[in-house]
Structure 1
Amino acid sequence: MWFKNLQVFRLTQPWRITGDELHAQLAKIQFSQVASNEMQSQGWDSPRGNDQLVHAVNKQFLLSLATEKKLLPSSVINQVTKARALELEEEQGFAPGRKAMTELKERITEELLPRAFGVKTKTAVWIDPVNRWLLIDASSPSKADEVIKLLLKCCDKLPLEGLRTQTSPQAAMTGWLAGNEAPKGFTIDQDTELKSSTEDKATVRYVRYTLEPDDTQKHISAGKQCTKLAMTWDDKISFVLTDTLQIKRIKPLDVLEEGKDKGSNQDERFDADFVLMTAELASLLSDVVFALGGELT
């Protein structure tokens, strides 16, 4: 089980909460199936499908935030509301007013909710007390914010802040492209995005394209900065670094797949994969921070 994206947060103090203590705190907002009259339900769920809200392996914690949303498109609500409004108009001889339409729409929504189909999704959270990281497998900061807000409701005085580096990712990536040289331990891959800082936000994207120094120099000289850059770390993991310090499209390469412990059963294979992922991604993060000049304190 590998995270596909990393929203990165730093634990500012040593982590002293045990797995059992964290389980008890998360149980305050445990996931339950969305009720018939609700649009959404959200809470902490077991990462391994058992009664434990924290899966601990090798001093690493894995959590799972579950969200179940009812599929009730606004187009369906509007269609039924319009049909019901026509019926009312025929009965009473005049069309419902604005306030009546608002109330009718609310009633229609309440009627349709119990019949709407619920879709459940999960967002994985990895807490690394050893290296003091908190990582969320989410492609957008808004989803990470959901996780953090719920975590803060459960855990008192969580020592957490966003990762900040001495050199901004945008400045560093632009410099790497301008010099046609990746930092030590990394190689530059074929995808990149350069964006102008002017009002028009002119953007150039390269996808599966071997970057030529003349091409990138031309755009950089014109005032564009690198906002996304595909890279490979240590010939083990490919990823995309963004200007907001998100790490996306993480993919373990064959050298890791060949060397991992297969285990004798599903649980052992999962744990072996988790140990491998946490060890490699922690090293990757350390090298990314080093390449960006270290942490800003």
Structure 2
Amino acid sequence: MFFRNLQIYRLPAPYAMTADALAGALTFQAFTPASSSELLRQGWQSPRGAGMPLVHAVNGQFLLQLVTEKKVLPAKVINQVAAARADELEEQQGFRPGKKAMRELKERVADELLPRAFPIRSAVLVWIDPVNGWLVVDASGPAKADDVVKLLLKAVDKMPLESLRVQRSPVAVMTGWLEADEAPYGFTIDQDATLRATGESRAQIGYKRHTLDPQDTRRHIAAGKQCTRLALTWNDRISFVLDESLAIKSVKPLAVLKENATGVYDAGERFDSDFALMSGELAQLLADLVEAMGGEAQA
């Protein structure tokens, strides 16, 4: 188990919240399947399966799971059924329903078909580090992370959660690294990058699995482009892609990290071991990254 994407938030360090207290707060938002008349349902579910605590705690680190159940009701099906109904009405009343009547007809058809809609479930994992003050959502985009944050803020009274803010612009910092062809200590530049023009054209050039030639990137920077996305490796242990919003994507633990994993065979022990390894490594990675960005911005 290793998060693939990191949407990063800040808590006070240390954050005075126990696993039991957090689980108690989340109980009122525990996941239950959507009813026949509901299109969407969200709630918390144990990362370790039925009957386990909503907050899984290992060495003072917390793991949560937000489950979303959404019913799929294709617009094509609604339109087909509504069109057939409209044909019947036209035969009965001698004229076809107008725009408003068709809109209302489609709404009624959707309500009728909803109980037969196919439910699809998805889950988003959340790591909370009360010791170092991190809250990280394993989501590729901010929309899913926002769903998590909104529910948490409703459940936990006055939760002091904030977005991560740093002293220096990530775009300016990444551009500087490319221009110097050197990342700060502990980081190396990999083979993916995106440079975007700052003018009205918003022209951009992307590198994918391509050696970043310093002369080439400097030429683009001199022409007014800035780095908005950059692939990096941290301490030869974790590779990732950093974007302009400080989101971390495409996280991959490297072989040297996997080799250090303890050899446990019980599924529960392996899960806890993996979570402990991940949380320990990512906490240090985030600390080093913030330092590379000039430290955290003061309120």
Give the TM-score of the pair, scaled to structure 2.
0.97
Structure 2: how far apart are the matches of 1:268 and 1:149? 32
User: How far does residue 36 in structure 1 lie from its aligned partner after superposition?
Assistant: 1.1
CA contact (8 A) 1:262 1:272 kept: no
Larger mean Cα displacement after TM superposition, 232-241 or 89-98: 89-98
Structure 2: how far apart are the matches of 1:50 and 1:112? 30
Structure 1: how far apart are the matches of 2:167 and 2:193? 22
* Deviation readout 1:255-282 (Å, 9 max, x if unpaired): 1111101313000000000000000000
Larger mean Cα displacement after TM superposition, 70-79 or 241-250: 70-79
Q: Which residue of 1 aligns with 2:48?
A: 48
CA contact (8 A) 1:238 1:250 kept: yes
Secondary structure of 2:189's match? strand
1:101 is aligned with what amino acid?
M
Structure 2: how far apart are the matches of 1:28 and 1:15? 22
* Deviation readout 1:77-115 (Å, 9 max, x if unpaired): 122211211121112111112222122111110111111
Q: Which residue of 2 aligns with 1:94?
A: 95
Q: Which residue of 1 aligns with 2:31?
A: 31
CA contact (8 A) 1:56 1:62 kept: yes
CA contact (8 A) 2:13 2:132 kept: no
1:226 is aligned with what amino acid?
C
Q: Which residue of 1 aligns with 2:290?
A: 289
- The percent of aligned pairs where both chains have the same amino acid is 59
CA contact (8 A) 2:62 2:128 kept: yes
Structure 1: how far apart are the matches of 2:27 and 2:94? 55
Q: Which residue of 2 aligns with 1:152?
A: 153
Q: Which residue of 2 aligns with 1:170?
A: 171
Structure 2: how far apart are the matches of 1:212 and 1:34? 53
Structure 2: how far apart are the matches of 1:25 and 1:64? 14
Q: Which residue of 2 aligns with 1:214?
A: 215
Q: Which residue of 2 aligns with 1:196?
A: 197
Q: Which residue of 2 aligns with 1:240?
A: 241
Structure 1: how far apart are the matches of 2:185 and 2:125? 30
2:7 is aligned with what amino acid?
Q
Q: Which residue of 1 aligns with 2:251?
A: 250
Structure 1: how far apart are the matches of 2:89 and 2:206? 54
Q: Which residue of 1 aligns with 2:114?
A: 113
Q: Which residue of 2 aligns with 1:129?
A: 130
2:176 is aligned with what amino acid?
G
Q: Which residue of 2 aligns with 1:183?
A: 184
Larger mean Cα displacement after TM superposition, 88-97 or 63-72: 88-97
Runs of 4+ in 1 over 6 A off after TM superposition: none
CA contact (8 A) 2:13 2:130 kept: no
* Deviation readout 1:104-151 (Å, 9 max, x if unpaired): 111110111111111100000000001000000001011111110010
Q: Which residue of 2 aligns with 1:268?
A: 269
CA contact (8 A) 1:12 1:161 kept: no
Structure 2: how far apart are the matches of 1:73 and 1:202? 36
1:132 is aligned with what amino acid?
G
Do residues 141 (structure 1) and 138 (structure 2) align? Answer: no
Structure 2: how far apart are the matches of 1:214 and 1:135? 36
Q: Which residue of 2 aligns with 1:84?
A: 85
1:110 is aligned with what amino acid?
D
User: How far does residue 13 in structure 1 lie from its aligned partner after superposition?
Assistant: 5.7
- Taking a change above 3 Å as real, the CA distance of residues 88 and 262 of structure 1, as seen in their structure-2 partners, is farther
Larger mean Cα displacement after TM superposition, 170-179 or 32-41: 32-41
Secondary structure of 2:185's match? coil
User: How far does residue 14 in structure 1 lie from its aligned partner after superposition?
Assistant: 3.5
Do residues 21 (structure 1) and 28 (structure 2) align? Answer: no
Structure 2: how far apart are the matches of 1:133 and 1:13? 8
Secondary structure of 2:276's match? helix
Gaps of 5+ in 1: none
1:261 is aligned with what amino acid?
T
CA contact (8 A) 2:13 2:131 kept: no
Count, aligned residues: 297
Do residues 67 (structure 1) and 68 (structure 2) align? Answer: yes
Root mean square deviation of aligned Cα = 1.0
CA contact (8 A) 2:195 2:229 kept: yes
Structure 1: how far apart are the matches of 2:211 and 2:38? 50
Q: How does 1:7-18 map to 2 (within 5 A)?
A: 7-12=7-12, 14-18=14-18
